[in-house]
Amino acid sequence: MFPDPEDGIVDDIEKHGGRIRTFPHERGIWATHVWVPYEAKEDFFDLLDLLMTQARRVLPRLVKMEEFHVSLSQSVVLRYHWITPFVQSLKSRMAFFHRFLFTANQVKVYTNQEKTRTFIGLEVTAGHAQFLDLVSEVDRVMEEFDLATFYKEPSFHISLAWCVGDVQSELKEQAIQGLQEIVDSFEDSAPLLRVRAEQVRCKSGNKFFSFPLK
C-alpha cells in the first residue's frame, strides 16, 4: 500500500516537459542537489515577464522557471542510507559561513553538460568569491561520498527560463543584447538584483533540508 522509502521518486518524462534525466532511476538512489535560494518578489516577476516576452519572440517554446536559486552542486545521486550522514556533513561545513550580498544582473545563456537543455540566466557579477568558498566546502562533502564535484570554473547564476535542446547560438545571436537592455533599463533593477544569501538548501529525493548562514 505504501511505497518503500528507498525507492525514491518514479520519473515520468511527461511531467518534465520532455527533459531527459542525466542518470537513470534505480531502486534506492535519490537525486540530490545543493543551492542558495533566491526568494523572488513581485518586481522580479514583472522583470521576468518582460524578459520572457522578448525571448519568446526568438524562441517561443521557452519555459519560465518556477523557482530560483544559485546552484552549489551538480545533480548527483545518493543511496538512501547515505542521506543522513551526507546532510550532517553538509550542515557542519555550512555552520561557519556568514550571510553575504551578491548581485546577479548579467544575462547569459547556458546549456547542461549533455547539451539536452538550454537556459537563460542572470550571472552573478558580485559575490563570486563567497560562492566559490561555499562550493569548496560542498565539494568536500561530495568527495566524502565519492560523488561528482562542481564545475572547475563555475559561472554562478540564477536560471530564468529553459527549453529542450541546444539553442545557445540562436539565443546569443538574436536575444541576449535585447534582454540585457531590458535588465539595465528596468526601474530599480539594481536593488532588485542585489540579493542577500541567508541560507543553503539541499534536496534529496522528496526530502528538503535548510542550513541558515550566520
Residue 19 pLDDT greater than 70, yes or no: no
Average pLDDT for the chain: 90
pLDDT (mean) for 90-119:
97
- SS3 letters for 31-77? EEEEEEECCCCHHHHHHHHHHHHHHHHHCCCCEECCCCEEECCCCEE
In a domain, 23, yes or no: no
Percent pLDDT > 70 in the chain is 87
Q: Residue 28: its pLDDT value, please?
A: 79
Task: Say if 7 falls within a structural domain.
Answer: no
Residue 126 has pLDDT above 50, yes or no: yes
Which one of the listed residues 25, 33, 69, 128 is annotated catalytic? 69
Structurally, the chain folds into a number of domains equal to 1
* Higher-confidence position of 175 and 4: 175
Query: Is the C-alpha dihedral spanning 13, 16, 22, 28 positive or negative?
Result: negative
**Residue 91 included in any domain:** yes
Q: Is residue 193 part of a domain?
A: yes
Look at residue 72 and tell me if it is in a domain.
yes
Rounded to two decimals, the pTM is 0.88
CATH number of the domain to which 77 belongs: 3.90.1140.10
Write out the residue range of the structural domain in which residue 138 sits: 28-208
Tell me the three cell numbers of residue 63.
Answer: 519555459
Res. 62: pLDDT tops 60? yes
Residue 70 domain flag:
yes
Question: What pLDDT is recorded for position 150?
Answer: 97
8 Å CB contact between 211 and 90: yes
Q: Is there a catalytic annotation at residue 81?
A: no
Examine the residue annotation and report whether 16 is marked as an active-site residue of this protein.
Answer: no
Choosing from 25, 81, 98, 157, the catalytic residue is 157
Q: Is the pLDDT at 12 greater than 70, yes or no?
A: no
Let me know if residue 17 belongs to a domain.
no
Q: Is residue 133 part of a domain?
A: yes
Taken as a whole, the chain contains a residue count of: 214
Tell me the H-state helices in 126-210.
128-144, 168-174, 176-185, 189-192
What pLDDT digit, counting tens, does each position of 21-52 carry? 444 445 679 999 999 999 999 999 999 999 99
- Identify the CA nearest to 167 among candidates 56, 50, 88: 56
Average confidence (pLDDT) over 133-153? 97
What whole-number percentage of the chain has pLDDT above 90? 86
